[in-house]
Structure 1
Amino acid sequence: MNLRVRVVHYGQRHWYADIDDADDPQPDDPFWYVDHCRTQTQALDAACAALITLSTRARRGDRLYRVLEITGVAV
């Protein structure tokens, strides 16, 4: 599995970050996301911490669940 972090700036209001499989053609259902970060650094720090956790679980062979599978709502 090749996980990737994406960080997006929404105007001057906030930053969004998510983690998804690099081969996934649909960016609307990541494995993890955070929204409404005040700074790019805050979004990136949160994403890096989550990436460590997800990577550890993937290496152990755990199944990674997408946001839609957990919440029932696409991002």
Structure 2
Amino acid sequence: MNLKVRIVHCGCAGGRHWYADIDDVDDPQPDDPFWYVDGCESQARALEVACGELLVLSSKVYRGDYLPRVLESV
């Protein structure tokens, strides 16, 4: 499994903020990631938080643990 981090700058009605998610490189639809965070105040903060979570998820994959997607966890 190849995981990727995606960082997006949102300039919507709720104000400007940064969003990050972690998904499978082979998943063409970014609609159901393994993890996400919204509302980060800067690109650097979004990247820092996402990279920390990427380490956690990567170690789970290495152990052979199942990674549920966000919508599976709800």
Q: What range is the shorter-chain TM-score in?
A: over 0.9
Structure 1 length as normaliser, TM-score? 0.92
Say which SS state the counterpart of residue 36 (structure 2) adopts.
strand
The structure where strand makes up a greater share of residues is: 2
Question: Aligned equivalents of 2:16 and 2:29: distance in 1?
Answer: 25
Structure 2 length as normaliser, TM-score? 0.93
Measure how far apart 1:25 and its partner are.
1.3
Structure 2 gap ranges (5+): none
Structure 1 equivalent of residue 57 of structure 2: 54
Matched, 1:19 2:19: no
Coordinate RMSD, CA, aligned: 0.8
List per-residue Cα deviations over 1:30-68 (Å, max 9, x = no partner): 000000000001100000000000000000000000000
One-letter code aligned to 2:51: C
Question: Aligned equivalents of 1:7 and 1:26: distance in 2?
Answer: 15
Q: Which runs of 4+ in 1 moved over 3 A?
A: none
Say which SS state the counterpart of residue 37 (structure 2) adopts.
strand
Structure 1 gap ranges (5+): none
Structure 2 equivalent of residue 8 of structure 1: 8
Structure 1 equivalent of residue 39 of structure 2: 36
